[in-house]
Structure 1
C-alpha cells in the first residue's frame, strides 16, 4: 500500500461512531413505541443493517489511506476511488486549508481535482503535465492541480518534497 500512509477521516469518524452508538437506543425506542411486531422486526433489521454499514465504512476509511511510495502518490477514499499520481509530475506542494463545499468527495473544478472531506482540503499540488482522471459517470478530465484533505498535512507535504 506504500511506504508512508496518511489518514483522511479524523473529521468524519466521530460522527459515524455517534450513529453506531445511537442505533441501539433507536432500536430500543422502536421496541417501546411501535405496537406491531412485524413493523418492529422490519425496523430492527434496518437498524442492524445500518449499524453494520456504518462499521464497514469506518473500517474502509481506516484501511484505505492515502500513501506515498517511491514512485507515486496514491489518493483514496475508502473503496470509492483511488488515484495514482506520479511523483515525477508533482511540480509544487503547498499546505493550506481551502473550503469549496462541493458536496462530493471528488470533483474537477477548472482543471483542479478536488478531493474534499467535510467541504475542505488542506494540501494542494501543482502538476507539471496534465493527468487524466476518470470520475465515472461524470466523465474523464485532464487536471493540472490537485487539492485534497489529509489528517497530517505537514507530514504529507514533507513526504512529497523529498
Structure 2
C-alpha cells in the first residue's frame, strides 16, 4: 500500500471515529485535561461547504435522467457530505488540552503532540499569520499549527523536542506556535501549570 493510500485510510478511519465521539459527546481528553478548542475560524466555512454538498446531492438526483448514474452520484455525494462532517467532528472532539502531565497540541486526527511541563520554558500570547495551504508547518525549529493561516500562542521549549508530523514525518522543534479560540485562557493555564510544577 502506498503512503498516500495509507494516509487516505487513516483519514477516513479517523473521520468515522470522530463522528462517533461527536455523536456520543465524548471528546478525546484524559482525566484532568482542560480543553482549548480551535475550531472557531473553521466552523462557518465547513458548515457552508457541507450545506453546498447536500444541495449538490439533491440537485443531481432531481436533474439527471439516468437512474444508474443518479444512484452512483448519490452514494458519492452522501459519502462526501459525511466526510465533511467527519472533518468538523475531528477538530471538535480533538481540542488542544492542558492537563496534569503536560500540553497536548492537536489538529483534528492528523496531529497529536504531547509536551511534558518539564519541557516547556515559557508561553506568550502573540498573533502571527503564515502563508501556505498546510495547517501544520515547520520552519527553522519552529512548529506552526495553523487555523485559518494564523496562530495566537507561542510556546518556548526548554530543550529540543522531536515531534511526529502528518505524512509520517518528524521534526526537532524548540518553539510551538498554535491557534486557540481562547488563546489568553490557554496562556494563563500553561503559566499556572508551570508554576505548580516548579520544585
Q: TM-score, normalised by structure 2?
A: 0.76
Aligned twin of 1:65: 95
Shift of 1:136: 5.2
- Within the candidate set 76, 79, 99, 2:106 is matched to 76
Say whether 1:118 aligns with 2:148.
yes
RMSD between aligned residues: 1.6
Q: 1:139 to 1:47 in 2, by over 3 A?
A: closer
1:5-36 CA distance string (max 9 Å, x none): 10011111211111222223212221333222
Matched with 2:25 is: none
Change (3 A) 1:139 1:80: closer
Structure 1 ranges of 4+ moved more than 3 A? 136-139
In terms of fraction of residues, the more strand-rich structure is 1
Change (3 A) 1:137 1:18: closer
Is 1:22 matched up with 2:52? yes
Alignment of 1:1-162 (within 5 A): 1=29, 2-135=32-165, 137=167, 139-162=169-192
Query: SS of the counterpart of 2:80?
Result: helix
1:67, 1:73 within 8 Å by CA — same for their partners in 2? yes
Q: Structure 1: state its 5+ residue gaps.
A: none
SS of equivalent residue, structure 2 residue 40: coil
Distance 1:44 1:155 in 2: 44
State the alpha-carbon separation in 1 of the partners of residues 110 and 89 from structure 2: 13
Normalised to the residue count of structure 1, the TM-score between the two structures is: 0.92
The total of aligned residue pairs comes to: 162
| Secondary structure of the structure 2 residue equivalent to 1:150 | coil
Contact 1:101 1:118 (8 Å CA) reproduced: no
Partners of 2:90 and 2:40 in 1: CA distance: 13
Q: 1:20 to 1:137 in 2, by over 3 A?
A: closer
| Higher helix content, 1 or 2 | 2
Aligned-partner Cα distance in 2 for 1:150–1:136? 20
Structure 2 unaligned segments of length 5 or more: list them.
1-28, 193-199
